[in-house]
Amino acid sequence: MSDRLSFTIHELVAEIGAYADGVLRSRYGVGYNHFQFLAILADVEPSDMTRLAHCLGVTKAAVSKRVPALVEDGWITADSPAGAGRSVLLSLTPKGAALVRDAGAVLERDFAAMLAAPALADDPIDAPRLNAQLNRLIAFMQSPTAAAVPVQE
């Protein structure tokens, strides 16, 4: 554990990812990266590969490399609409949507329970407030205003 906020955030994200990966593998037979791909697609579908890559924080090539296996395994569809040139639109299949819905609900429930754990009772975490604060931070960091914040030397 660290007194440095950037390290603490990184460690928290790693722990959340590891926990989610364990739950997803044991209950649903998929890893966190697989689930995350589908969950993010659910938020932006239908989506072309470029937009999905941006949302995932990976390259378009990384997305396009994963698509054939996800289509073959019945998680997503990849359609080329008429008049769309080379654009391919990705969407979840009912199987993919069910995984995102069901596994997402389990993870949300588990993380909410962790935030309310008796071990944290001496300094309770307000989950809705924390989520709102993190969303505000994300929005700020994605805005042009963040780039204009002076660096403290």
Beta strand segments in the chain, E: 47-48, 76-79, 89-92
pLDDT in tens, 96-105: 999 999 999 9
Supply the pTM of this predicted model.
0.82
Strands in 76-79's sheet, in edge-to-edge order, are 47-48, 89-92, 76-79
Confidence band, pLDDT 50/70/90 cuts, at residue 134: very high
Taking Cα atoms as reference points, which of 52, 56, 46, 51 lies closest to residue 79? 46
pLDDT in tens, 63-92: 989 999 999 999 999 987 765 556 789 999
The string of pLDDT tens digits covering residues 32-47 is: 999 999 999 999 989 8
Tell me the pLDDT of the chain averaged across its residues. 90
